[in-house]
A = this chain, B = another copy of it.
Amino acid sequence: MEFRAKDIAVLLNGVVEGNPEATVNNVSKIEEGKPYTLAFLANPKYEHFIYTTEASVVLVNRDFVPAKPVPCTLIRVDSAYDAIAVLLKMYETMRPQPTGIEQPSHISENAVIGEKPYIGAFAYLGKNVKIGNNVRIYPQVYIGEGVTIGDNTVLYAGVKVYYGCVIGRNCTIHAGSVIGADGFGFAPSTEGYHKISQIGNVVIEDNVEIGANVCIDRATMGATRIKAGVKLDNLIQIAHNVVIGENTVIAAQTGIAGTAKVGSNCMLGGQVGVAGHLEIGNGVSVAAQSGIIGPVKDKTVIMGAPAFEAAKYQKSYVLFRKLPELYRQFGEMEREIQTLKSKQ
């Protein structure tokens, strides 16, 4: 498909500067611009690329003043960054999505499936599964007995959902993620550990996105709960009975131990560890690789393992780096004291 600069400008409420008939059939990054593509310039540090880019059309902010002539057609918009997001979304929306039920797939007799489903080959829907409208279940997905899935939700290839879990509307779960495996509960006994049965489930509310190869364990009793609007990156571990608050965002490879409660609107960096049975407030920011071993108040910014206030951590770390130098000075001071003592 090809688009003319002037048509894109209309879409984005922008103004063309250059050839309004310039056509594009794809997008590219400004530093890798190719002919017949559309690029964007939002970050001023990339400005120099615009003077040599081969991209045919470039989105720029309305107030952009080129320092030299540009080789491309410009479209001026209120925010080049927002405009490209709109275009990416349109581009993606135009990609045809699969529909229908491919064979062979395993759909239990009493499964209830809404309108316009996609169910890929080799997908498995257990007994009493209930699926809303416009749901896409990619190939090789497993959905255990009694699972409920809301409208417009997408489960990519190979997702596994254990029995009894509940997934909301407008959710996306990427390939390989496992929802509802047993929580890690064992009690010591004289013949080794015996397992504590995990009879709860996982509840994922609306508008949640979950990355690839994530694990969210079922509760011992009750529910492990991922609240509305949460975004989880890849390879994250959510243990049994954890609650993640609304619109909290967690980066890859972070792990939350059992029964911990994370507030709403938090941002956790990658590879963070949160110990069990503690509560993190709302609006908390956690630096990557931090380890949280105690409760955290609302809106704090923390860092380190064990984590404490980030600004303080950074001061301590600067001095950690200086320890060899401080140690040398320390030795000098000691010698000076000895000298002083000997002179008394």
Q: Which residues of A are interface residues toward B (Cβ below 8 A)?
A: 27-29, 32, 82, 85, 88-89, 91-92, 102, 104, 106, 120-122, 124, 138-140, 142, 144, 156-158, 160, 162, 172, 174-176, 178, 181-182, 184, 186-187, 192-199, 207, 209, 211-213, 215, 217, 220-222, 228-229, 231, 233-235, 237, 239, 246-247, 249, 251-253, 255, 257, 270-271, 273, 275, 288-289, 291, 305-306, 308, 312, 315-317, 319-324, 326-327, 329-330, 333-334, 336-337, 340-341, 343-344
Contacts and interface: CB of A to CB of B under 8 A. Distances in A.
A271 B273 contact: yes
19 contacts: A27-B199, A89-B195, A89-B196, A121-B122, A140-B160, A156-B162, A192-B207, A212-B215, A213-B215, A217-B234, A253-B273, A255-B270, A255-B271, A271-B271, A306-B317, A316-B324, A326-B330, A329-B330, A333-B337
A258 to B, nearest CB: 10
A344 B336 CA distance: 13
Contacts of A220: 88
Contact of A181 (B29, B85, B174, B199): B174
Given A319-B327, A343-B344, 6 more contacts: A156-B162, A176-B215, A186-B249, A193-B229, A213-B235, A337-B340
A24 B249 CA distance: 38
Given A199-B91, A235-B237, A251-B184, A139 B139 contact: no
Contacts of A178: 158, 174-176, 212-213, 234
A283 to B, nearest CB: 12
Nearest to A106: B121
